[in-house]
Structure 1
Amino acid sequence: MPKYSRVFRRFLISYIIILIIPSIAGYMSYKTAITVTESVSIENSVTQLQKSKELLERRMAEVEGFTRQLAINQDLNILMNENGSGDASNVYGIWKMMRNVLTFGQTNDFLKHYYVYLSNYNVLLTPGSAYFRPEHYYESYYYEDMPFEKWKSTVLEGTHRSEMMPLSPFMDNKNETSVVTYMQSLPLDSFTGSSPAVVVVIIDQQKMTDLLSGITDRYGGWVHISDADGHTVGLQGTDEAHVGLLSADSSFDGEKLSQFYEDDLVITIRSDSTNWIYRAGIPRHVLMGSANQIKYITWSVTGVALFIGVAAGLLLSYRNSAPIIRIVGVMKEQFGQEGQSERNEYDFLHGNISQMLTNNRRLESELHRQAPLVRDAFFKRLLAGEFQTRDEIIAAAVQANAGLTGDTGYVGIMQVNGYPLMDNVEVLNELNAARLILKQALIDTGSSVRMTDIGSDKIVFLFTYMDEPTAVEIGKDEVTMTLERISRLAFEEYRISTTVALGGMFQAVTEVSQSFEQAKQTLDVAVHQNRKELSWFEDTRQESSTYHYPLELELRLIGTVRAGEQEEATRILHTIISQNTVHRELSYEMKQQLAGEMKGTFLKLLDQKVFIESESFEEMKNRIIAIQPAEPLEAIQVELAAVMNVLCEVVHSRKNDSHTRTVEQIKTYIESAYTDSALTLYRVAEQVERPEKYISQLFKEVTGVNLSDYLENVRMEQAAELLHNEVLTVDEIASRVGYNSSHSFRRAFKRVRGVSPSVFRQSALDG
């Protein structure tokens, strides 16, 4: 069983329930069809027996009609009324009557064997013969269980009124058979004593049961006919013993039209005219032949459908449960809950996803709460020059939602005057209120301005514009007017005196920290000179005895070179030289000191492993050492820029080598694990110990192909090799190259190769 078989079982049970519902409906339809078929079969059998009964009764009615015709026959009446004693026999009359009797038996099979007994002549007339002694007749035609005397007294000399003698064994001219005897005394009004004549019709059992052969021949059953006293009149397909057991069984209802007894359907019909009981037994399996055929077809189709349904359910259950099982596995690996396998997987997912959503909402709320602090921290880092590259600044600005609108602008500082070296609570509260007023005033101007605090009495603000000359010039005038208006308004309404200083224009966001440093220098000069108006950096040229090379600027230069950002490093180097040549007038000694500091910076850079291991290390070291501090700063800038370019190229080369090794490691892992259908970007990242987004972008950058496309191409290459022979089926190949679904494999193969796997295999084999 799989590790998470409960998920699989839940899906499978759902599909089985879906199968059971139509199966129940089909079963009910099947039972209805069987019941209807059984009812129709019974009804047809009853109808068949009813028709056979009616046919037999018509034949018996014809027999009775035959006796009535004899009763009105003039010749017979003459013979019956003559005195037959003595020698005066009416031989002609007897002969004529014998001829008349012969014609009656030509219209009814039951009249093949009959005779008329004239008691006055003691003669027995049959079709074609006359027996003047009945014993002569009885020598050839007699009842096996009845002696002649009994026959004579019972049959010939008795009085009969449409009387039937039960089925009896009979010898018909040395042919043993069973017969039913119909007897009628003539004239018809003879009720007591001896009658002048008796008509006897001997009906062969076979003649009677032939009329019921529709049941016995069709169903292979049995038929039994009994008179009102229960004596057997007709019997076929069974024996008296079986009929006797049937009648004696208390569980058998003799009045019921149809009922199942043992393995037979027994149909019972009573004749209204003769009170005979017609009973037929039809084997159940014959009667239910159509129903059995329906049953066989139904069960066969149902069995095949259920088998296919269960197989489809197994496949779909596996396909639908596999992603959930993988998700549960990943979540348990991540959350460290492998030991909770007995827990319901859906509850596990629900609980953990709910927890993740709750944590996400809590984190989102916390991020919203921390957003101002994040933006403030971003501006402080930007002002401090902690970012090495422009891309890093842009990414951090987007992450902090800082909203930088351009690469060009100014950095300024607004200081609240009148609170130097005062740090009690009341003063801090006043300064806090003053800063809030000034910030709100800056916001109300509608300008694109970002602000943060430095110290308790200073606000740093940042104006940014699109990198266009006209926009910059207009922006400077706008900044001047805005800040002067805010300063005037703050003093007039709140008696807040301010000093405002702005640095030089920065032309890239990486120069914001430089503009900030210039603003600080300008503020120092403005405070020192007690200036009340707005001060710009370019308006405060300093004749300084010291050079400008702050530690943070040196660290930024080192960081950008280490990162291989040649353009940014060149801009920082240019800024350093510009600050000390354009905005300062350095003495000869200070210029030499600055040149030595910058040589030291580059020698510090060379003390990195990445540069020590490079082939150009000694050359770059000697080149830096060879720089003479006495040379002009512009010449030193050119030489250092050349060294810096070489160092950045070394960094780029090392980065490319590292990236190439990482990509090769990814390729090696994919080629060994492509058969695993659960191979994901997360697993690849885990293998190479790098973040998922990093390896995805890195792989695309180095190879020009998406990682997912590369994995698919590897799988298709392996599949193409396997398709060159007929050992494996397409489904087996799909499984071997990492696809759970053969349909997904076929679709991917056609997308990559342009043809389906089967067409590719055929063309490969034909080629």
Structure 2
Amino acid sequence: MPRYSRVFRRFLISYIVILIIPSIAGYMSYRTSISVTQSVSIENSVTQLQKSKEILERRMAEVEGFTRQLAINQDLSILMNEKSSNDRSNVFGIWKMMRNVLTFGQTNDFLQHFFVYLNNYNVVLTPGSAYFRPEHYYENYHYSDLSFSEWKRTILGKTHRSEIMPLSPFVNKGTETSVVTYMQSLPLDSFDGSSPAIVVVIIDEKTISRLLSGITDRYGGWAHITDAKGHTVGLHGIDEKDAEKLSADKRFDKEKVSQFYGDDLVITIRSSTNDWVYQAGIPRQVLLENANKIKYITWSVTGIALLIGLLVGLLLSYRNSAPINRLVGVMKEQFGQDGNTGRNEYDFLHGNISEMITNNKRLESELHRQVPLVRDAFLKRLIAGEFQSREEIIASAVQANAGLNGNAGYVGILQVNGYSLMDSVEILNELNAARLILKQALIDSGSSVRMTDIGSDKIASLFAFTDATTAVQIGKEEISKTLNRISQLVFDEYRISVTAAMGDLFDAVTEVSHSFEQAKQALEHAVHLNKKGITWFEETRTESATYYYPLDTELRLIGTIRAGEIEEAKRIVQSIISQNTEHRELSFEMKHQLVGEMKGTFLKLLDQKTFMESELFESVKNRIIEIQATETFEFIQEEIRDIMEALCGLIMSKKNDSHTRTVEQIKEYIKTTYAESDLTLYRVAEQVERPEKYISQLFKEVTGMNLSDHLEKVRMDHAVLLLKDNEYTVDEIASRVGYNSSHSFRRAFKRVTGISPSSYRQSVED
């Protein structure tokens, strides 16, 4: 494929570069797994060592608590304070005390071996035994490196205050072991010198080592405990010499919690209660065991992914290079740059597409900037009554993306009080700030409200509800509470005084301007009477002898009939009749003038070319003229309804004819241009001089089919004819019926006909 070779090579190189990424990711994953595994192991080991430390400290605290219990034991106090004689001893007291201390070792394994030495009797009391001669006790239990005299002098002959003797060799009934010794003189406040009694707790090294076995058993490492002076208190899985070598090595930082030393990860914790140092070592290979598994899995998966990725890259490079060249050709045709694509195809596409995107973004940004202005303009036109029909209002609301969230509601005006003169920049700035505060307060209130400025000191607010029943039953009370709360809030926080006025209910979007005019009248009434709070229009009504038929209502009625909206026209007429019968008492002269005005409105309508050329013109004109003011309003309303139905029916008939002609024009244009691949909805809309969205909806309404589906059907019908002729290949047929890609053509053909083009051609031949 020499035509695509350069693009193909670029795609292939890109895919190969992408395939290198999994290899890098695999390596990073491996490194991360080591780091994560190591950190998890360190964290678990620290937790385990911390638990062992807590248990050991708790046991030692229990040992200390045991000595304090003995200090307050009355039997022991009696024995300590008795004066001994050479010929007799308090045998009963000693026996009783021996029984008392018998139970202490049952709850704490650190208290399995202890004794109490009574200085005055020279007696050693142990659980279950009393040695009236200390040398007898020494024969069974003694330190290997202490003689009897040294033992008696250093252990029994001194005052000890919670003193701990580090790990020392010890003989327990002929069995050699190592022990840690806890010593406390009694009473607790004994001074230097001999004390009445001494409690000595002998803790076997194996008992302490069992607390550290959780670390050594799990990781196969070692543990070591030293006191504040560096003397060994307990060790497991390591020799004393190796522990001393580790402690003496200057490269080892004793302040770090975790660090590698040799082939071990060493964790160090220091106790805050007695300054003991707890160390644990974990072999490096244990840490890396899980990481090595991850390494094997990662590189295996990465290797397979590279092989599969290379094959897929070759396929994708071939498939993707062809559309690029076709796209370059289309761009050349559109922008008129024949034969000059710059350095390569990508530069050419980049230049033209980036320009299109830049222009599109600039247009999008400008549209977003204009959206608030468009919405505000729509709301201003709505309350001013500038729209002629409901259809026009809906179309404008869709265009401005400014729906009202309801078809019924109330229009109100909020006026900032206290600014009679507004001819200075400072005052206008203050009013602008006050309006912003009021708008924000309305937004924060949670009400469904739309707002717009109608002056330097006024805001028009539109409260919409789903229907008129909800607006009457709930809306009015909700609006009153909201406005009262906002008025009080802005006054309390900003000292802004507000006057609120509300118009009557509107039950259709075409009546919004009428509610706004009522709000203006209510505001004038409130300002005139200096009334506080909310003023509703119904509170300001007075009896009037004039009829109700404002100009904006007449214009809306004309616009509605011209749009063929019969239901909306009936509603407007019903509103006019209701205003003049239920809320007014018209004299005959006023009624005569009202009927004359309404007749004039319909006569104006008949002046249009659409009606003048109709066969109904004369009959409708005569019916309008024959309406008399002497008739009842019910009769007049019925006559007007019949006239409006005739006029709207004529309008809708004309519309349908126009719609049909537009659709036929679209079909004819597609019939002649279906083979062009760049045939778009925009081009069709440009041809019939209508908006894109309009013709899309119109085509669906008239034909029941989407415009895109119709275009596809036309192309498939011609493709079927070309397949039957068997003159062109499938790729050539795809190009002749308007498809850039034969793959897209095949998918479309199968979607429409149910079989592929090749299968269809084969079936025709068979």
Task: Give the TM interval when normalised to the shorter protein.
Answer: 0.5 to 0.7
Q: For the structure 1 residues 328 and 696, does the alpha-carbon distance in structure 2 shift closer, same or farther, using more than 3 Å as the test? A: farther
Question: Aligned partners of 1:431, 1:418: CA distance in 2, in Å?
Answer: 10
One-letter identity of the residue aligned with 1:605: L
Of residues 458-467 and 356-365 in structure 1, the stretch that sits farther from structure 2 once superposed is 356-365
Q: Which amino acid aligns with 1:14?
A: V
Contact 1:413 1:459 in 2 (8 A): yes
* Equivalent residue, structure 1, for 2:616: 616
| Corresponding letter in the other structure for 1:322 | R
Report the identity percentage. 68
Are the counterparts in 1 of residues 487 and 498 from structure 2 also a CA contact under 8 Å? yes
1:619, CA displacement in angstroms? Answer: 2.0
1:456 aligns with 2:449: no
Alignment CA distance shift 1:592-1:742 (3 Å): same
Q: Which amino acid aligns with 1:646?
A: A
Residues 503, 537 of structure 1: 8 Å contact kept: yes
Tell me: CA distance 1:758–1:398, structure 2 relative to 1, closer, same or farther (3 Å): closer
Determine the structure 1 residue equivalent to 2:586.
586
Correspondence for 1:687:
687
Alignment match, 1:222: none
Q: Do the aligned partners of residues 644 and 719 (structure 1) sit closer, same or farther apart at CA in structure 2, a change above 3 Å counting?
A: same
Contact 1:542–1:583 (Cα < 8 Å) also in 2: no
**Alignment match, 2:660:** 660
CA, structure 1 residues 682+453, in 2 after alignment: closer, same or farther (shift >3 Å)?
A: closer
Shift of 1:703: 0.9
Q: CA shift at 1:497, angstroms?
A: 4.6
TM-score (norm 1): 0.53
321, 335, 355: which one aligns with 2:325 = 321
> Aligned partners of 1:534 and 1:494: how far apart in 2?
19
Alpha-carbon separation, structure 1, partners of 2:555 and 2:2: 63
Q: How does 1:296-445 map to 2 (within 5 A)?
A: 319-330=323-334, 332=335, 338=336, 342=340, 344=342, 346-347=346-347, 349-390=349-390, 392-394=392-394, 396-397=396-397, 399-402=399-402, 404-417=404-417, 419=419, 423-425=423-425, 427-445=427-445
Where does residue 554 of structure 2 map in the other structure?
A: 554
Paired with 1:688 and 1:626, the residues of 2 have a C-alpha distance of: 43
TM-score, structure 2 normalization: 0.54
Counterpart contact for 1:564–1:652, Cα < 8 Å: yes
Within a 5 Å distance, the mapping from 1:187-586 to structure 2 comes to 319-330=323-334, 332=335, 338=336, 342=340, 344=342, 346-347=346-347, 349-390=349-390, 392-394=392-394, 396-397=396-397, 399-402=399-402, 404-417=404-417, 419=419, 423-425=423-425, 427-467=427-467, 469-470=469-470, 472-488=472-488, 496-586=496-586
Question: How far apart are the structure 2 equivalents of 1:15 and 1:436?
Answer: 60
Query: Which one-letter code corresponds to 1:323 in the other structure?
Result: L
Aligned residue type for 1:703:
T
Aligned partner of 2:87 in structure 1 is none
Question: What amino acid maps onto 1:518 in structure 2?
Answer: Q
Between the aligned partners of 2:353 and 2:735, the Cα distance in structure 1 is 31
Q: 1:683 to 1:487 in 2, by over 3 A?
A: closer
Q: Is the 8 A contact 2:435 2:457 kept in 1?
A: yes
Cα distance, 1:383 vs. partner?
Answer: 0.7
The answer for the alignment partner of 1:291 in structure 2 is none
Q: Could you say which residue in structure 2 is the equivalent of 1:238?
A: none
**Letter matched to residue 650 of structure 2:** V
> Retained in 1: the 8 A contact 2:11–2:321?
no
Structure 1 residue identity aligned to 2:575: T
Measured on the aligned residues, the alpha-carbon RMSD in Å equals 3.7
1:459 aligned counterpart, secondary structure: strand
> For 2:493 and 2:12, how far apart are their aligned partners in 1?
84
8 Å Cα contact 2:503/2:522 also seen in 1: yes
Is contact 2:501-2:522 (8 Å) kept?
yes
Contact 2:560 2:566 in 1 (8 A): yes
Shift of 1:380: 0.8
With 527-536 and 620-629 compared, the bigger mean Cα shift is at: 527-536
Deviation at 1:10, TM superposition (A): 7.3
| Mapped contact 2:389–2:556 kept (Cα < 8 A) | no
Letter in 1 for 2:580: N
- 1:67 alignment counterpart: none
Q: 1:524 to 1:661 in 2, by over 3 A?
A: same
Counterpart residue number, 1:121:
none
SS at match of 1:454: strand
Cα separation, 2, equivalents of 1:10 and 1:736: 22
Local SS of the residue matching 1:451: strand
The gaps in structure 2 that reach 5 residues or longer are 14-315
Larger radius of gyration: 1
Secondary structure of the residue aligned to 2:410 is strand
Q: Report the CA distance between 1:503 and its aligned residue.
A: 1.0
Instruction: Provide Cα deviations, 1:498-556, integer angstroms capped at 9, x if missing partner.
Output: 43221111223332222112222323333445543522223333322332322222222
The DSSP-based 3-state class of the residue aligned with 2:455 is coil
Contact 1:725 1:765 (8 Å CA) reproduced? no
Change (3 A) 1:734 1:354: closer
Could you list the per-position Cα deviations for residues 547-588 of structure 1 after superposition, in whole angstroms to 9, with x for gaps in the alignment? 232222222222222222222222222222222332333332
1:660 Cα deviation after fit: 1.1
Deviations 1:260-304 (A, max 9, x none): xxxxxxxxxxxxxxxxxxxxxxxxxxxxxxxxxxxxxxxxxxxxx
Q: How far apart in 2 are the matches of 1:426 and 1:328?
A: 59
Please give the alpha-carbon distance, in whole angstroms, between the structure 2 residues aligned to 1:462 and 1:660: 39
1:14 — aligned with what? Answer: 7
Relative to structure 1, the CA distance from residue 745 to residue 617 in structure 2 (aligned partners, 3 Å threshold; closer, same or farther) is: same
How far did residue 664 of structure 1 move?
Answer: 0.9
| 2:549 match: secondary structure | coil
Q: Does structure 2 conserve the Cα–Cα contact (< 8 Å) formed by 1:452 and 1:460? A: yes
Measured after TM superposition, the shift of residue 614 of structure 1 is: 2.5
Partner in structure 2 of residue 676 of structure 1:
676
Q: CA deviation at 1:411?
A: 0.8
The alpha-carbon distance between structure 1 residues 727 and 601, as it changes in their structure 2 partners (threshold 3 A), is same
Match of 2:41 in 1: none
- Distance in 1 between the 2:561 and 2:518 partners? 23
C-alpha distance in 2 between matches for 1:428 and 1:315: 66
* Distance of 1:596 and 1:663 partners within structure 2: 42
Query: Can you list the C-alpha shifts for 1:460-503, whole angstroms capped at 9, x where unaligned?
Result: 11222232735642221122233234445556666655432211
1:598 corresponding residue in structure 2: 598
Q: Is the Cα contact below 8 Å between 2:501 and 2:537 reproduced in 1?
A: yes
| Equivalent residues of 2:388, 2:558 under 8 A apart | no
Structure 1 gaps, min length 5: 1-7, 21-311, 333-337
Q: Counterpart of 2:629?
A: 629
Cα contact 1:541–1:583 (8 A) shared by 2: no
| Contact 1:450 1:461 (C-alpha < 8 Å) held by counterparts | yes
CA deviation after TM superposition for structure 1 residue 698, in Å: 1.9
- How many residues align? The count is 462
Q: Is the 8 A contact 2:407 2:508 kept in 1?
A: yes
Q: What does the per-residue CA deviation read over 1:238-274, in whole Å, with 9 as the maximum and x for residues that have no partner?
A: xxxxxxxxxxxxxxxxxxxxxxxxxxxxxxxxxxxxx
Deviation at 1:603, TM superposition (A): 1.6
Q: Is the 8 A contact 1:388 1:563 kept in 2?
A: no
Whole-angstrom CA distance in 1 between matches of 2:755 and 2:649? 46
After superposition, the Cα gap between the structure-2 partners of 1:446 and 1:732, relative to the gap in structure 1 and judged at 3 Å, is closer
